[in-house]
Amino acid sequence: MATGVVDFDYSGWSARYPEFSTSVSAGLAQQYFNEAQLYCDNTPCSPVTDASPGGQRAVFLNMLTAHIAALNAPLNGQPSSPLVGRINSAAEGSVSVQTQLDMPAGTAQWYTQTKYGIAYWTATAQFRMMQYVPGPVPRANPYGRF
């Protein structure tokens, strides 16, 4: 794109993630895409430089949109689950479910709640690595020349 920003393409997104095509409208999907931009920079200064249609940033944003939709959208007429985190204990008699979500900084727990989130987390690992930028090379010049 000329602007360096990815625009949301509902038809492309719903073709890639058909499980949401009946439960997530174009307007709601656009809102999820807007929310996804909080997690993946969609500006010309983004570390993900490929902002072309169908490019790397578009794929990442679509993954995040699907992740947010899976967490929030009603599916098959049922409201989204109020549970947050992983199920760490379940009982059958008198039904009991306990969840756990410990989120130390820099971990993937929020993303691992859906297959779309973990796919995003894995695919973006290269952008979470430290990038070394060397400083200027000092020059010893005791005589003030050069």
Per-residue pLDDT, 59: 97
Q: Does residue 133 form part of some domain?
A: no
Q: What separation in angstroms does the CA of 6 have from each of 11, 19, 62, 115?
A: 15, 23, 10, 23
Total number of domains constituting the chain: 1
Give domain status of residue 141, yes or no: no
Along the 146 residues of the chain, how does pLDDT read in single tens digits?
458 899 999 999 999 999 998 889 999 999 999 999 999 999 999 999 999 999 999 999 999 999 999 998 876 666 666 666 667 677 778 877 777 767 666 678 888 888 999 999 999 999 888 778 888 887 777 776 65
Residue 91 φ/ψ, nearest 5 degrees: -125, 160
Angle between helices 56-72 and 26-36 (to 10 degrees): 110
pTM of the model: 0.75
The domain of 110 spans 10-127
**Whose structure tokens read 């009991």?**
96
Q: Is residue 33 part of a domain?
A: yes
pLDDT for the residue 24: 92
Predicted local confidence at residue 1, as pLDDT: 41
Does residue 135 form part of some domain? no
| 144 domain residue, yes or no | no
DSSP state letter for 113: G
Structural domain contains residue 3: no
What pLDDT shows up at residue 146?
A: 57
User: What pLDDT does residue 58 have?
Assistant: 96
56 in a structural domain:
yes
Residue 27 belongs to a domain = yes
